[in-house]
Structure 1
Amino acid sequence: MAGLPHNKMAMDPALVRIGNLSSNRYKYFRWTKRTATVSFVFVIAIPGILGYLGYKNDGLWDLRGKRRGDTISER
């Protein structure tokens, strides 16, 4: 058993191609309108919206230590 080759199965060419493409993606990347838009959305827009919502709701809701009949809103 120790001397036998363990990779007797044939490799799927599509999986090999995807593996090579993902490991060499930086070589083939180009800035296009689509990649710039996607990068802007995921790097600036979504974190900005989440930060704004977090800032506006900071201290607005107090869910700890409430009793029956108390309001959730602090304002």
Structure 2
Amino acid sequence: MKEVSIEALTPGMTLGRSISSPDGKIVLSQGTVITEFWLTRIKQWNLGTVMVTEQTGQEEISEAELAHLLQQAGTV
């Protein structure tokens, strides 16, 4: 998990820690994927930073797994 400034927050990032309102109510739960809508709202809340999960990069997938997935999707 890492702390990210609101300016560096982008759609697709995942919250690593819930965001609470000043009165303690959770407004966005840990694990929420940031969308354009949520990004706009977070900026309106005047938060400085949020915690996001660190992405480890794309998973490795074998050619056989890829072929199987494409076949299931009907593209092969």
Asked if these proteins are the same fold (TM beyond 0.5), I'd say no
Structure with greater helix share of residues: 1
**Quick check: which has more Rg, 1 or 2?**
1
Structure with greater strand share of residues: 2
Q: TM-score, normalised by structure 1?
A: 0.20
Q: TM-score, normalised by structure 2?
A: 0.20
Name which structure has the greater RCO, CA cutoff 8 Å, separation 6+: 2
